[in-house]
Structure 1
Amino acid sequence: MSASRPITRRAFAGGALALALGGRSFAQGFAGLGEAADGFAQVTPGRQFVFPADHGPHPEFRIEWWYVTANLVDAAGAAYGAQWTLFRQAMTSGVRVEGWANQQVWMGHAAVTSAATHHVAETFARGGVGQADVIATPFQAWIDAWQLRGLDGFDAQTVAPLELKAAANDFSYALQLKADRPLVLQGDHGYSRKSDRGQASYYYSQPFFTVSGTITIDGKPIGVTGHAWMDREWSSQPLAPDQTGWDWLSLHLPGDEKLMLYRLRQKDGRENLFGNWITPDSRSTEIAAPGNSITPTVTTEIAGRKLPTSWRVTLPERGLAIETTPLNPKSWMGTSFPYWEGPIRFSGSHSGIGYLEMTGY
């Protein structure tokens, strides 16, 4: 296992300045995501998404990420996971400044997981000097040599085809992502609530990628195929100050249905459950919380703490009752903002694969 101080995509908003610039302490909400965002644009219902423009950055908002997870198998059927993320954090609001005075900090996060190992790498960059950025047309997101870019025939409505690359000391990957269905808007037509007090993000996904390519672990190249999921989110204050973390699932269901589900935890023990059910024709429907549940069933001791690494998920109105199992229960990121993230399988009323992210434990 390797770890170059990685943090989760949502933790980055609070951590980028502290890690990259030696800055302040963030006390409000998990990793500062509940901190007030005076001067930045606010998320409100009813936004009209425009593509390809919305594949690019939104510097008027404080926090943003481009995020891919891939469930992969080799020729012998062994399972792997791959992750690539690019984060943008605005240090101050106002008109964008070029050069070294640019307000944006960027972070790249790459990972590969097998049943026995979990490899992670991270890199930082300052905006305005070409080291990291995102261009909507032709689509390209990069930090140093890590990149997610559109290939010939790129379609802004499907966000495909794409090439995904990253490399570190002990792992690398080069993957091609294809999709034949449109992206989907999460939450209420892209307005994703995080609390009952107004916190929200703009959120869309492409959950229908098929993947092929090569991952390399400790010098050994492995041909892989599988399924991938891309998330795009931006906000200025996505959490309330008393929210301590979340448990997030992206699931590939039988018949090409998809499920995105997350539980946000509060200091007083209460929780909020949000999600979307996605049909094979890209229709995305927000899931009502009453009667639905996500409950831990198995805990794993990691880094001196116990984490819920297996879950029971029930959505009665959808006839879904499943149990999840991690590929590698030790998929722990022991970093400045520790979290767990890795590929999972599930069985029960439905069976399939997906990814789990847990923060704030």
Structure 2
Amino acid sequence: MRKTTIGAAAIASALIASMGLVSAGTATATTAAGPAATDSSAASGKGLADTNLPVLVDPTTDLTYNPDRPNQSWYVTAHVTAGGHRYGFLAHYNQFNVGDPDQWRTLSAVSITDEDTGWYTKSEIGLAPGAGLSDKQGVDIHTDNITWTGDAKEMKLRAKVPEGTIDVMFRPRGNVLYNMGTGYFPMFGDARYNNYEYALPTMDTSGTLTLNGHTDKVRGQSWLDRQWGALPADLTSGRASWAWMNLNLSNGDKVSLWKTKYDKENSWATVLKPDGTQTVAEATLTPDSSSLWTSPHTGKSYPTRWKVSIPGEHAKLNVTVHAEDQELVTTRRYEGTAAVAGTVGHRPVTGTTYIEVAGGQ
């Protein structure tokens, strides 16, 4: 049962340990300037808080497409209300290569789930490498189902599914979540697969949702996750797998939770507190084997209920999907909105999350 609260000394040590990977050209390490992270911007609504900790990513400049980076992902999930219903929606542009320069795969995906009724729809479009991307500063994605533009202060998303469109504005505020406290971690616990990941976990979201010709106003919160880095060449063989969650808890905690398996298994959490403190802790993600749902599209089986434990945070949580069929068929991956309930620090909490389950057989 271990956890590490990230302060300047701890992050500096991680920075030194990672410099060999950074100098190799995988990514450019930058340090955000300004006062130590506080929750003042969350209270005032004036955008992102700055940090003077020596992190390895820049939440502003690293939104931009960099053609030299492998396996790039722009991923936004939302939990909103519209027309008296609660909805989860996802927009994901994912370009990845698993070791062969000629084997690039690119997917532009959108999904919407009615969290009250379990209704689900999606759009998946396979693309040529780099299609729909530009090196314009910030996010600049244009595909047949996603138009996503803007910067770390304000973004616009127009996303399409067969039944209609999502038209929303994102306004990030508060603290950035840096995975592993620095924005760097070795995927699968192996430094050969150096990955960089950060999140803007608190984005005020407003706009409209139009389904079957009916338009409702949207209000809620979104989480943007930006990731890039190396992956094993045999990723598609089923040898590697992972589960990931982005927990938004009622006590104000934001948690990026990973469980990866390749030659060995690793599970860990990065916990962002409301005051800006970031903690890295061991975690367990235990699927409920009695809750498996088998996809009629691909034949793969996915858990629909999980137990999450973060002993260093005294966290015990139950995670339950809002609908069973939330699979992206093109990449044989589960991307599902889910409810969270349990305790943190021996106090009851509720929350929301998206569950990503990928790889394996």
Could you say which TM-score interval applies, normalised by the shorter chain?
Answer: 0.7 to 0.9
Q: Which residue of 2 aligns with 1:186?
A: 179
Q: Does 1:252 align with 2:251?
A: no
> CA offset at residue 195 of structure 1?
2.3
Q: Which residue of 1 aligns with 2:45?
A: none
Structure 2 portions without partners, runs of 5+: 1-23, 30-53, 344-348
> CA offset at residue 203 of structure 1?
0.7
Letter in 2 for 1:321: K
Q: Does 1:108 align with 2:99?
A: no
Q: Which residue of 1 aligns with 2:272?
A: 278
Q: Does 1:56 align with 2:64?
A: yes
> CA offset at residue 357 of structure 1?
1.1
Q: Which residue of 2 aligns with 1:169?
A: 162
Letter in 1 for 2:208: T
In structure 2, how many angstroms separate the alpha carbons of the residues matched to 1:317 and 1:145? 41
Query: 1:255-266 maps to which residues of 2 (within 5 A)?
Result: 255-266=251-262
Structure 1 portions without partners, runs of 5+: 1-39, 95-101
Q: TM-score, normalised by structure 2?
A: 0.73
Q: Which residue of 2 aligns with 1:295?
A: 286
**Maintained 8 Å contact 1:135/1:141:** no
**Maintained 8 Å contact 1:59/1:90:** no
- Is the deviation greater in 225-234 or in 208-217? 208-217
Q: Which residue of 2 aligns with 1:137?
A: 137
In structure 1, how many angstroms separate the alpha carbons of the residues matched to 2:315 and 2:112? 29
User: SS of the residue aligned with 2:190?
Assistant: coil
User: SS of the residue aligned with 2:231?
Assistant: coil
| Structure in which a larger fraction of residues adopt helix | 2
Q: Does 1:70 align with 2:78?
A: yes
User: SS of the residue aligned with 1:322?
Assistant: strand
**Maintained 8 Å contact 1:107/1:143:** no
> CA offset at residue 49 of structure 1?
2.7
Give the 3 Å change call, closer, same or farther, for CA 79–186 of structure 1 in structure 2. same
Letter in 1 for 2:67: P
Query: 1:320-331 maps to which residues of 2 (within 5 A)?
Result: 320-331=315-326
Query: 1:87-126 maps to which residues of 2 (within 5 A)?
Result: 87-89=94-96, 106-114=106-114, 115-126=117-128
> CA offset at residue 92 of structure 1?
9.4
> CA offset at residue 87 of structure 1?
2.3
Give the 3 Å change call, closer, same or farther, for CA 238–58 of structure 1 in structure 2. farther
**Maintained 8 Å contact 1:82/1:111:** yes
Q: Does 1:220 align with 2:214?
A: yes
Letter in 1 for 2:253: E
In structure 1, how many angstroms separate the alpha carbons of the residues matched to 2:180 and 2:233? 15
Q: Share of identical aligned residues, percent?
A: 21
Q: Which residue of 2 aligns with 1:19?
A: none
Give the 3 Å change call, closer, same or farther, for CA 359–138 of structure 1 in structure 2. closer
Q: Which residue of 1 aligns with 2:87?
A: 80
Give the 3 Å change call, closer, same or farther, for CA 103–325 of structure 1 in structure 2. closer
The alignment yields a C-alpha RMSD, in angstroms, of 3.1
Q: Which residue of 1 aligns with 2:189?
A: 196
Give the 3 Å change call, closer, same or farther, for CA 182–323 of structure 1 in structure 2. closer
> CA offset at residue 119 of structure 1?
1.2
Give the 3 Å change call, closer, same or farther, for CA 323–92 of structure 1 in structure 2. closer
Q: TM-score, normalised by structure 1?
A: 0.73
Letter in 2 for 1:331: Q
- Is the deviation greater in 137-146 or in 166-175? 137-146
Give the 3 Å change call, closer, same or farther, for CA 238–351 of structure 1 in structure 2. farther
In structure 2, how many angstroms separate the alpha carbons of the residues matched to 1:234 and 1:312? 28
> CA offset at residue 301 of structure 1?
2.8
Letter in 1 for 2:118: A
In structure 2, how many angstroms separate the alpha carbons of the residues matched to 1:307 and 1:318? 27
Letter in 1 for 2:293: E
